[in-house]
Structure 1
Amino acid sequence: MVDAFTFLRGDHESVLGMFEVLDGAPQGEGAKVSGLDTMVTNLIIAESQHEAIEQQYFWPTVRAYLDDGDKLADHAIAQEDSGKQLLQQLEDGRPGEPEYHGALAAFITAGREHIRYEQDVVWPRLAAVLGEGELQELGETLKRAKKSAPTRPHPDTPSNSSVQKTMGMAAATVDKIRDAATGRSRDNPPDAPTP
C-alpha cells in the first residue's frame, strides 16, 4: 500500500523533472523539430490526471479534516484552475508560436508554486490529523482513480468534487478514445512505479 503523500510526491517529482527539461526548451523554428510537442503532451496528460484526482479525493479530504480546509482547498483549486487554462492553451497551440511558449513558461512557474504550496503548507497540516491507515487508504484511492482520470485539462468542467467524479469520468472516457484514435497515448510514457 502507498500513502497519499508518497503517491502525490511521485507525481510531483515527475512533473518537476519535466519542468527542468522544459525550462530550456527551444523556441521559434527549433521548437518545431525538437520533440517539444511530445514532452508538453506528456506534461498535459500527467497534470490533467493529477489535478483531476486531487479535486475528486484529496481536496475534499482537506476540507473534511482541517478547520480551515475550505480556505486551503479553495486556494489550491484556484491555482489548479488557472493551470488548466494554461494547459488548454498548450493543448490548442503549437511549438514555435509565441503564445505557446508564453503559456509554457507561465505554467512552469505556476506549477512550481502550486507544488510548494501543497507540500509545504497543506501536507504538514493534513499529516498532523490523519493516521497512517487513513493516509494509505487515501493513497490507494488516488492510485486507482488515476487509472481512469482525464488526460486533457477540461478547464470548463467545474472543480467541484462531485462534478469531477461524474463528468470527469465521462471526459476521461472520451479522452482515452481520442488518445487511441490519434496515437497520442502511444507517445505518453507509463507512470513510474509507486513504492
Structure 2
Amino acid sequence: MDVLSFLRADHESVLGMIESLERGRGNSAAELDARRRLATGLVIASSRHEAVEEQFFWPEVRRTVPDGDELADRAIGQEDAAKRLLQQIENSEPGEPAFEQALTEVMSAIREHIEFEQSQVWPLFEKAESAQGREALGKKMEQAERAAPTRPHPNTPSGSVVQKTAGLAAAVLDKVRDAVTGRKDDQPPRPPRP
C-alpha cells in the first residue's frame, strides 16, 4: 500500500473520532463514559500513528525531500506537543477542566498537523520518492503500526532509532497495561485500507 494512502486512512479515522468527540459533550454518566472511550480511542490511534511516522516516514522525508529536515523537525515538534496533550487526557477524566481543555487543544493541534502534512509535506514527498519507494514504505508502516505503542510517551525522544528500540519496549508494556486495565476494549477500529 502506498504510504500516502496509509497515512490518509489514518488521518480520516482520527478526524472522524474528533468529529464524534465534538458532538458528544453531554454530562450524564453514559455520555461521559462514551466520551472517555472515544478519547481513549483517539489517544491510541494518535499514539500508534505518530510512532510509526517517527520510525519510518520522517526519516524518509529527511532523506528524500529538499528541506526535509526542516519539514520533519516542524512536524515532530507538532507531534511532541500533541503527545503532551494526549497524556493530559490520559491522566484526567471527561468533564474535568483539565481533560476538556487538553481535548479541545489536541483536536485543534491534530487538525493543524494533518493540514501541514497533507498540503505541505505530501506533495513534496510524492515528487521526491518513487512509487515503488512509497509502496514499500507503506507496507513497512502498516506492519509496524500493529506493534506500535498505544500511549503517547511524551518523555520518550522522537527519533527513529529510539522509536524502533525503546518505542517497541514501550509498546509491549502498553499492551500489557491495556489488557490488565481493560483499556484494550477501547481500541479504535483499524481504518480501512485501500
Question: Normalised by the shorter chain, which TM-score bucket?
Answer: over 0.9
The alignment status of 1:55 with 2:54, answered yes or no, reads yes
Q: Name the aligned partner's letter for residue 11 of structure 1.
A: D
Q: Is the 8 A contact 2:42 2:188 kept in 1?
A: no
Task: Give the TM-score, by structure 1 length.
Answer: 0.96
Q: Name the aligned partner's letter for residue 188 of structure 1.
A: Q
Q: Which residue of 2 aligns with 1:166?
A: 165
What is the CA distance between 1:33 and its match in structure 2? Answer: 2.9
Structure 1 residues 25 and 190 mapped into 2: Cα distance closer, same or farther (>3 Å)?
closer
The alignment status of 1:101 with 2:97, answered yes or no, reads no
Q: Which residue of 1 aligns with 2:118?
A: 119
Structure 2 runs not aligned, ≥5 long? none
Q: Which residue of 1 aligns with 2:65?
A: 66
Aligned equivalents of 2:14, 2:191: Cα separation in 1: 11
| 1:86-128: CA deviation from partner (whole Å, max 9, x where unpaired) | 0000000001101110000000101000000000000000000
Q: Name the aligned partner's letter for residue 136 of structure 1.
A: E
Q: Name the aligned partner's letter for residue 25 of structure 1.
A: G
Q: Name the aligned partner's letter for residue 117 of structure 2.
A: E
Structure 1 runs not aligned, ≥5 long? none
Q: Name the aligned partner's letter for residue 33 of structure 1.
A: A
Count of residue pairs the alignment pairs up: 192
What is the CA distance between 1:66 and its match in structure 2? Answer: 1.4
Q: Is the 8 A contact 2:2 2:136 kept in 1?
A: yes
CA RMSD of aligned residues (A): 1.0
Aligned equivalents of 1:190, 1:96: Cα separation in 2: 25
| 1:163-186: CA deviation from partner (whole Å, max 9, x where unpaired) | 111000000000000111111112
Q: Name the aligned partner's letter for residue 162 of structure 1.
A: V
The structure 1 segments of at least 4 consecutive aligned residues displaced by more than 3 Å after TM superposition are none
Aligned equivalents of 1:165, 1:106: Cα separation in 2: 28
Q: Is the 8 A contact 2:4 2:122 kept in 1?
A: yes
Other structure's SS at 1:166 match: helix
What is the CA distance between 1:192 and its match in structure 2? Answer: 2.5
